[in-house]
Amino acid sequence: MTVHEKPDTRSNFAITLQILSIVFYTFIAFICIGLPIAVLPGYVHDQLGFSAIVAGLTIGSQYLATLLTRPTAGRIADTLGTKPAIVAGLAGIAASGVLTWISTLLQSEAATSLTILIVARVLLGIAQGLIGVGTNSWGIGAVGVEQTARVISWNGIASYGAIAIGAPLGVVMVGHWGIDTLGVALTVLAVIALLVIRKKPSMPVIRGERLPFWAAFGRVAPYGVNLTLASIGYGTLTTFITLYYVDRGWQGAAYCLTAFGACFIVSRLLFINAINRLGGAFVAIACMSIETLGLVMLWLAPTTLIAMLGACLAGFGLSLVYPALGVLAIRQVPTSSRGAGLSAYSVFFDLALAISGPMMGAVALHLGYQWIFLCAALLSVVGLSLTVLLSRRPRHDAY
């Protein structure tokens, strides 16, 4: 703990309210990510007439953009401040909404519509990176580094909760008012958040050592690789669950996403303090085991009920992997380079989402949609094994 971060003597409730006032912007960002997530794969595949691989690339372009701009997001948060990073992200969402609206108006020109839609997804990905790093860094600075797990956990609750709400809401909205309402909704939500944040005071910039992004990346990499392997299951589920259900002749894919998000939130609410009590490595190992079981159930599911139960287990398991490994990772960088550390760690999650679309799209094309969940489960097992090995190393916290 540095001189900039004195112990917080406020009650748990007051600390939680402080965190919630910051992760509100994460919630808005992920509502905007969730609204089109169950609609756009079908739009690209059915309305525009492109293959499953192109649909996966279109969704994955957002995550790839987030990945590539993480160094810039971390630098902005560390040097200019967390509030400017969030404001820039919200402006990016507004611009993405406008382009999404234009794309849907031009669906008769398939290539043009797809191109504009990919640009919109790229802007949304950049915004996601800025807001994710900004809110996490702002939250940790506001309530203290000892509350890192809680800040990351509530950020995750906000993000996955927003997707759980946004995915079925997007389906209903498009069903009633048309695909062109998606872009309008994104822009309106972003503008509302920009109005809310105007008068909120930001945290002062922390002075001290500034690690180059790649130096921070190297320090968090042992934990980040395991995060990538565990998170490919999430990217697989969110990108392809709609097409998987269609392939099986089932209805209700959006509600499968809702089940995933709901169990994710319940797990974090029930076990939000488990990381501090039991340790990050132990929690990560337990959760990755549960996630793997859920992915296997999705692979073998004979009915929508089993598929939904599998999604529930996957969400319940994945819930604490990110904060559990994240607490261990962020200890490896100085406080003044927290933005760089958070950005570097987040790259591994972004990488999972960026590669899961095209990789699992190729698997689906050659083997069928059912097999993508087995592939994701096997990768999770590899991550679980590496985490076990990592947990046996002597603990060494650089900061």
Contact 139, 82 (CB under 8 A): no
Structure-token pair, residue 97: 């909404």
Give one word for 11, left, alpha or beta, with left for phi > 0 and alpha for psi -120 to 50: beta
Look at the block and give the residue holding tokens 């069928």. 368
Residue 280's φ and ψ, nearest 5 degrees, are -65, -40
Count the residues in the chain: 399
Check pLDDT > 80 for residue 246: yes
Output 49 or 380, whichever has higher pLDDT: 380
Check pLDDT > 50 for residue 5: no
Look up residue 333 and give its DSSP letter: S
Q: pTM for this one?
A: 0.72
Please report the pLDDT score of residue 396 as a whole number: 54
With cut-offs at 50, 70 and 90, classify the pLDDT of residue 206.
Answer: low
Structure-token pair, residue 246: 């269609």
With cut-offs at 50, 70 and 90, classify the pLDDT of residue 102.
Answer: very high
Contact 323, 271 (CB under 8 A): no
In terms of DSSP H, where are the helices of the chain?
Answer: 12-37, 40-42, 52-68, 70-79, 82-105, 110-143, 148-177, 181-197, 213-248, 253-271, 274-278, 280-300, 304-318, 321-330, 338-367, 371-391
The rounded distance, in Å, linking the Cα atoms of 28 and 158 is 9
Please report the pLDDT score of residue 310 as a whole number: 94
Structure-token pair, residue 201: 């005071």
Average pLDDT over residues 7-12: 61
Average pLDDT over residues 89-114: 90
Structure-token pair, residue 16: 């939680």
Picking from 91, 161, 170, 187, the residue whose alpha carbon sits closest to that of residue 130 is 91
Please report the pLDDT score of residue 311 as a whole number: 93
Contact 31, 192 (CB under 8 A): no
Check pLDDT > 70 for residue 398: no
Contact 117, 103 (CB under 8 A): yes
Burial of 1 (0-12, 13-18, 19+ CB in 10 A): exposed
Helix axis angle for 338-367 and 52-68, nearest 10°, is 170
Average pLDDT over residues 215-225: 88
Please report the pLDDT score of residue 3 as a whole number: 40
Q: Render pLDDT for 334-353 as a digit per residue (tens, 0 to 9).
A: 776 777 788 888 888 878 87
Please report the pLDDT score of residue 26 as a whole number: 93
pLDDT mean across residues, the chain: 85
Q: Render pLDDT for 270-325 as a digit per residue (tens, 0 to 9).
A: 887 888 788 888 999 999 999 999 999 999 999 989 999 999 999 999 888 988 89
Picking from 266, 247, 390, 382, the residue whose alpha carbon sits closest to that of residue 324 is 390
Please report the pLDDT score of residue 187 as a whole number: 94
The rounded distance, in Å, linking the Cα atoms of 242 and 257 is 9
Average pLDDT over residues 240-252: 87
For residues 145-162, one letter each, b for 16 or more C-beta atoms within 10 angstroms of the residue's C-beta and e for the rest, the string is bebbbbbbbbbbbbbbbb
Average pLDDT over residues 362-369: 88
Best-predicted range by mean pLDDT among 55-59, 227-231, 332-336, 352-356?
Answer: 227-231
Check pLDDT > 70 for residue 394: no
* Residue 173 CB neighbour total at 10 angstroms: 19
Q: Render pLDDT for 40-95 as a digit per residue (tens, 0 to 9).
A: 888 888 778 778 778 878 887 887 888 788 888 878 887 787 888 999 999 999 99
Q: Render pLDDT for 261-271 as a digit per residue (tens, 0 to 9).
A: 788 888 888 88
Q: Give the sign of the dihedral formed by CA 129, CA 130, CA 136, CA 140.
A: positive
Please report the pLDDT score of residue 209 as a whole number: 59
In the chain, the domains with their CATH numbers are: 12-391 (1.20.1250.20)
With cut-offs at 50, 70 and 90, classify the pLDDT of residue 204.
Answer: low
Picking from 40, 7, 359, the residue whose alpha carbon sits closest to that of residue 173 is 40
The rounded distance, in Å, linking the Cα atoms of 157 and 160 is 5
Burial of 17 (0-12, 13-18, 19+ CB in 10 A): exposed
With cut-offs at 50, 70 and 90, classify the pLDDT of residue 365.
Answer: confident
Structure-token pair, residue 207: 């002075």
